Amino acid sequence: MRSIISVIGKDEVGILAKVSTLCAEHNANIEAVTQHVVEGYFSMTMIACVDDMDCSIGELQEFLDKVLPETKNHVMHEDIFHAMHRI
Amino acid sequence: MFEVGEIRETIDMIDEENLDVRTITMGISLLDCVDSDIDRSCRKVVEKIKKCAGKLVETGEIIEKRYGIPIVNKRVSVTPIAMLAGASGGDPVKYAKALDEAARAIGVNFIGGYSALVQKGFGPGDRELIESIPRALAETERVCSSVNIGSTKAGINMDAVKTMGTVVRQCAELTADRQCVGATKLVVFCNAPEDNPFMAGAFHGVGEPDCVINVGVSGPGVVRAAIASMDDDADLQQVAEKIKKTAFKVTRMGQLVGTVASEMLGVPFGIVDLSLAPTPAVGDSVAHILEEIGLERVGACGTTAALAMLNDAVKKGGVMASSTIGGLSGAFIPVTEDAGMIRAAREGVLTVQKLEAMTAVCSVGLDMIVIPGDTTAEVISAIIADEAAIGMINSKTTAVRVIPGIGLKEGDEFDYGGLFGSGPVMPVSTLSPAKMINRGGRIPAPIQSLKN
C-alpha cells in the first residue's frame, strides 16, 4: 500500500529533508520523489510505501502540516489516483 | 505508477475546484420497526437507526483522511414513514421527532424519509402523514420530507397535487419566523427515485435491501475548469467529450468512496448518484458551467440546449465509471444554492418559466425557488402539476421545492447561509388555475408510443 505525498509552496532550505525525516520517523519507505523549483516555487511529489508505517495516513498529514505550516501539503492513499486515472 | 501531472490534476480538483463527495447516505429499512403501538414503533425506529448508522459519521471521517477527499455530508434515508404511520396509527409527528432524535444521536445533519408515495391514490397513513408535514418540519430540525404525486405508469394524482399546494404554503407559514425554512425541507416528486442519496428528497424505497450505502458525488467546479481549459473555438462535440471524461474521473472517486464505506460498515453498496450538485461557494456553480460553454448569463436563450448537453455528457461519462449508477444522476439547478443562478435571478434574467423549460432536460426540477408570499395554494398546486406533467410525459424525475416567502414580495430576499444559500423572490403567474386544481381526480398515465 502506497501513499502519495505532495508539497507545494515557496521554496526554502530543507523542505525535502523535513518530509523525508518525517517518513523515516514513522517507518514510511520512500520509493520515488519528483521535485521542481520554478521561479522560487517548490513542488514535490513523493510516493512512499506505508505498509509498516506506525501511524495512519491522516495522522501523517497532520504531522506534515505541523513541520511545514507554510506550504500546501497532501498525503493521500494511492487508490484515489488509481480510481481516477486508470481503467 | 502515476505521472506528476495526474497527481496534480487530482489535487487541484480538490483544492481549487471544490471537488468533493457531497454525501454518503445510508438507506435503512424501517419495516421491521412497525408496531401497532406508535410509541413502541418510534422507539424501535430510533434503536434501529442508531444500530445501523452509529458509525456512519466516524467512517466517513476516516475515509476523508485516508484519501484526502472531503465528504461534505453524512446522512440517512429511511422507509417512507407513511407506511409505518398506516400500521401504527397515531400522530405521525411522533415519527418525525423520533427521526430527529436519531439523527442528532448519530451526528447526521439530515434524515430523509418523512414521505408518502401517493401517485395512484392514498393508502392507510398517507393522508395523515401528508397533513402532518408542516408541523413535522416546523417542530424538527433535521427531518426532510417528500411526497411522490405522480409517475409515468400511474399518471398524476391531482387530489394529492391539490393538497400539496396547501401543505407547501403551511410549511412556510409555520416557519415564517425562520425564513420559511420548513418549505426548504419538502420536495414534491413525480417519478421519485427510491435510491436517491440527496436531500431533501431522499427516502429508502420499499424495493431496497435492509440497509445500503449510496453515494452522491458532485463537482460543478471541476467541469467548469475543464471547459475553461479548452480553446474558445472548440466545438460542442469536443466540449461534450471533455465533460464526459471529467464526469468519469469524478464518478470513479465516488465509486471508490462508496466501495470502501460499504466494506468498512459491513453494508451492501447501493449506487453512485453522479449529480452535479452546486453550492453557493464561488466556483461550485452549475450556472457557471453553462456560462463557460458560452452563454452571457444562465437564463439566456440557449440555456436549455447547453444544459441538455451537459446533463447527457455527465451521465455518459459517469455510467462507464461505476457499476451501479442510480439516484437522480444529472445536473441540479437549485436557485438559492448556486452562485450563478442567484446572480441571474437577482438580475431578472433567469425566470421561473425558463427554469421550468430547463427541468425538461435535467434533474431534478424547480428547486429552491423563493416565490412571493401571497402566492395562493392553487398556484403552487398548479406549479407542481406542470412539473409533474413534464416528468410524467418524459419518463424522468421532476420535483418542486418552492419556498413561499411569507411577508415577502418581489425584490426581497432570503439568506439561509450554508448549503441552502440565498435568493431573491422570483415572480410567478398570478392567473388563477383554481378551477382546474379543484377538479381533483387523476391525470391518466400517458401513452408510451406515438412520441411527438
Domains of chain B, by residue range, sit at: 27-190, 215-431
Query: A with B: how many residue pairs have Cβ under 8 Å apart?
Result: 64
Per CATH, domain A2-85 is 2.30.30.40: no
B2 near A CB under 8 A: yes
What is the number of alpha carbons within 13 Å of residue B79 lying toward its C-beta? 22
Could you give the maximum distance between any two Cα atoms of chain B, in Å? 67
pLDDT digits (tens, 9 = 90+) for B220-230: 999 999 999 99
Provide the 10 A C-beta neighbour count for residue B232. Answer: 5
Say which DSSP state B355 is in.
H
Interface TM-score (ipTM) > 0.95: no
- Chain centroid to CA B427: 23
pLDDT digits (tens, 9 = 90+) for B136-191: 999 999 999 999 999 999 999 999 999 999 999 999 999 999 999 999 999 999 99
Q: What pLDDT is recorded for position B327?
A: 87
Name the E strands within B381-441. Answer: 398-405, 413-417, 421-424
Contact assignment for A80 to B67 by CB distance below 8 Å = yes
- Closest residue on chain A to B246 (Cα): A84
Q: Mean pLDDT: which of B11-25, B72-86, B438-452 is highest?
A: B72-86
CA distances from B183 to B20, B39, B78, B106, B267 (A): 27, 27, 20, 25, 32
Average pLDDT, chain B: 94
**Partners of residue A4 on adjacent β-strands:** A47, A76
Cβ within 8 Å of residue B445, ≥6 positions away = B151, B152, B153, B154, B155, B392
Q: All 3 cell numbers of residue B414? A: 432570503
pLDDT digits (tens, 9 = 90+) for A20-66: 999 999 999 999 999 989 888 999 999 999 999 999 999 999 999 99
B15 near A CB under 8 A: yes
In chain B, % of residues over pLDDT 70: 100
Distance from the Cα of B359 to chain A's closest Cα (Å) equals 30
CA distances from A12 to A25, A39, B182, B447 (A): 22, 12, 53, 70
A80 near B CB under 8 A: yes
Hey, what CATH class is B215-431 in? Answer: alpha beta
| Side chain identity, residue A60 | L
Same fold, B27-190 and B215-431: yes
On the question of pLDDT at B126 being above 90, the answer is: yes
Q: Is the peptide bond before B200 cis (omega within 30 degrees of 0)?
A: yes
On the question of pLDDT at B452 being above 80, the answer is: no
Pairwise pLDDT comparison (B229 vs B3), residue with the higher score: B229
Q: What pLDDT is recorded for position B329?
A: 87
| Side chain identity, residue A25 | E
CA distance linking residue B426 with residue B186, whole number of Å: 19
In chain B, % of residues over pLDDT 90: 86
pLDDT digits (tens, 9 = 90+) for B342-399: 999 999 999 999 999 999 998 789 999 999 999 999 999 999 999 999 999 999 999 9
Average pLDDT over residues B196-202: 93
**Partners of residue B217 on adjacent β-strands:** B21
Per CATH, domain B27-190 is 3.40.50.720: no
On the question of pLDDT at B1 being above 80, the answer is: no
Q: All 3 cell numbers of residue B196? A: 436517491
Q: Which residues, numbered 8 to 67 in chain A, qualify as contacts with chain B under a Cβ-Cβ cut-off of 8 Å? A: 32, 34, 43, 45, 47, 56-58, 61
Average pLDDT over residues B53-67: 95
pLDDT digits (tens, 9 = 90+) for B38-56: 999 999 999 999 999 999 9
On the question of pLDDT at B25 being above 80, the answer is: yes
CA distance linking residue B273 with residue B179, whole number of Å: 30
Say which DSSP state B243 is in.
H
Q: Work out the angle between the directed axes of helices B286-293 and B339-347 (0-180°, nearest 10).
A: 70
**Partners of residue A5 on adjacent β-strands:** A46, A75
Q: What pLDDT is recorded for position B274?
A: 86
pLDDT digits (tens, 9 = 90+) for B262-292: 999 999 999 999 889 898 888 889 999 999 9
